[in-house]
Amino acid sequence: MASAHEQPSLLTVKEAALLCRTSDQTIRRWIRCERIRATRPGGKSLLIERAEIDRLLAGNQSSATEVGDWVAALVQAAPTLTPENIQALRKIIQVAGVGTNHHQLGDRTVA
């Protein structure tokens, strides 16, 4: 039995979503596209190894920074942020898996 200070080794989808600062739906999508692995013991709820989330978060720190820098440079170079530009940036941010709803891009924020 885990002590009060130990973190559980298996997480529910909801717990994984909280750790990743994203939605349950995003966690399920990541499982479907095999970005993270999950098990369904006894055919019940999906469970995710804590190590899977740690691996994902460690990888996202560097990739999110790289993508964020690239997007910030793109926005700074753009004379006008058109609705089409905003939509393209949202897709880039979504693919990068950045888990916040608002992203600071230079002196502009994209929701």
pLDDT at 47 over 90: yes
Q: Quick one: pLDDT at residue 20? A: 86
- Which residues share a beta bridge with 15? none
Q: Which domains does the chain have, with CATH numbers?
A: 10-110 (1.10.1660)
What is the mean predicted confidence (pLDDT) over 98-106? 53
Cα Rg, the chain, nearest whole Å: 17
State pLDDT tens for residues 74-92: 767 766 778 888 888 888 8
**Residue 106: other Cβ atoms inside 10 A:** 14
Q: Considering the chain, what is the average pLDDT of its residues?
A: 77
Q: Give the residue with greater pLDDT, 69 vs 101.
A: 69
For residue 63, CA distances in Å to 18, 41, 70 come to 20, 32, 10
- Name the DSSP class of 8: P
Measured between alpha carbons, how far is residue 100 from residues 42, 44, 45 in Å? Answer: 33, 29, 26
Q: How would residue 48 be classed by pLDDT, with cut points 50, 70 and 90? A: very high
* 89 contacts 110 by C-beta, under 8 angstroms: yes
pLDDT digits over 23-34, tens only? 999 999 989 988
pLDDT in tens, 49-60: 999 888 888 876
